[in-house]
Amino acid sequence: MNLAYPAQKFQDWLTQQWVILRGRRINPSEVPWLMGPFGHLDAIGEDFIGQLARKEDLVIEDETSKQGLIPSMDKLNLPACEFLTLSRHIIDFYEDTADYSLDFSVKWNPFFKVFGILLNKMFSNRINQLNVPTGNIKNGELLNSKVITLKDPLTDQARYTFWFRSVQSSGRVIYSGAYGLSTLPSGKTCIKAVFPLPNGNATVLMAPRVGKNGELVLDSSGTEFGDAGFYFLLKDSKGNCWSQYIRSFRDRLIVSTERDYISAKQTFTLWHWKVLTFNYRINRSS
């Protein structure tokens, strides 16, 4: 029987063992579209980014003026008729994310709120990752937003682009993820976000399309392994890699242009029940 790495917190071991029992063993070389950085037991967040840079001999850049989650939005490979209608403000946001500020509000489905509290107490508060506020926030709460690029010093090419977001008033890290593009086995190009966790990560692959008003719609809905969707990945006690595709959990993000700012609505659902909604207001800082 394959076992999760033993020398860690019991709740981490238990969730990883569930992935091993319910998921599938993977060969990283055969699923490059899925792979991303795995977290360490002792460091997530900015500490992990520093460790990753030292481990892979990369250079950290976090103060340059031009840093975006996506180097060029035309690499989304959208149909030409859609790309031409995509808002230029949205394109600029993804290609120059570091020059934007964000605030957000939160609304929970009361039925699922207890699961958010348990997630924070068992995992998020300790690992400083996926630290979603457990109370509704009606008025905008300002986010500290930082884009951190890890570059190969020999080629000057970006290896990883991390988007680090924390609540300004409390300093709590909501997301620290590596963003980029990935081509699914079907040939579909998706935006990939990888959130390092102890001995593994949570990876979300979101398929893009453009709405009738020029908004960008990103959807993680899929039906099987290899589709867009939510994945857990980990290494077991012997160094084997495993992945579990969570079809029931979905993330949908709609990014729109308002009069003088960008708005975004992010909705998480479980078994088609709405769990949590984020509303963002995004303004250019300069």
> pLDDT tens across 122-175, in order?
766 666 677 777 777 777 788 999 999 999 999 999 999 999 898 888 878 888
The CA distance from 150 to 189, in Å, is 22
Nearest to 137 by CA among 156, 161, 121, 116: 116
Work out the burial of residue 178: count CB atoms within 10 Å of its CB; fewer than 13 is exposed, 13-18 middle, 19 or more buried: buried
State how far the Cα of 256 lies from the Cα of 236, in Å rounded to an integer.
Answer: 41
Give the tokens for residue 24. 């599938």
Q: What is the pLDDT of residues 54-68, one digit of tens each?
A: 999 999 987 665 789
- For the chain, list the strands marked E by DSSP: 24-26, 59-61, 100-108, 137-151, 158-167, 173-183, 189-197, 200-210, 216-219, 229-235, 241-246, 249-257, 262-270, 273-284
> Under the phi-then-psi rule, with left for phi > 0, alpha for psi from -120 to 50, and beta for the rest, what region is 136?
beta
**Tokens read off for 280:** 């963002």
pLDDT the model gives residue 63? 66
Q: What is the pLDDT of residues 24-53, one digit of tens each?
A: 999 999 999 999 999 987 656 677 888 899
pLDDT for residue 41: 74
For residues 191, 194, 195, 201, the Cα torsion angle rounded to the nearest 10 degrees is: 140
Q: SS3 of 91, please?
A: helix
- CA–CA separation, 196 vs 199, rounded Å? 8
Is 274:130 a contact under the CB 8 Å cutoff?
no
Residue whose C-alpha is closest to residue 275's, from 92, 119, 93: 119
Stated length of the chain: 286
pLDDT of residue 8: 87
- Lowest pLDDT segment from 47-51, 143-147, 197-201, 203-207: 47-51
Residue % of the chain over a pLDDT of 70? 95
216: tokens are 């960008």
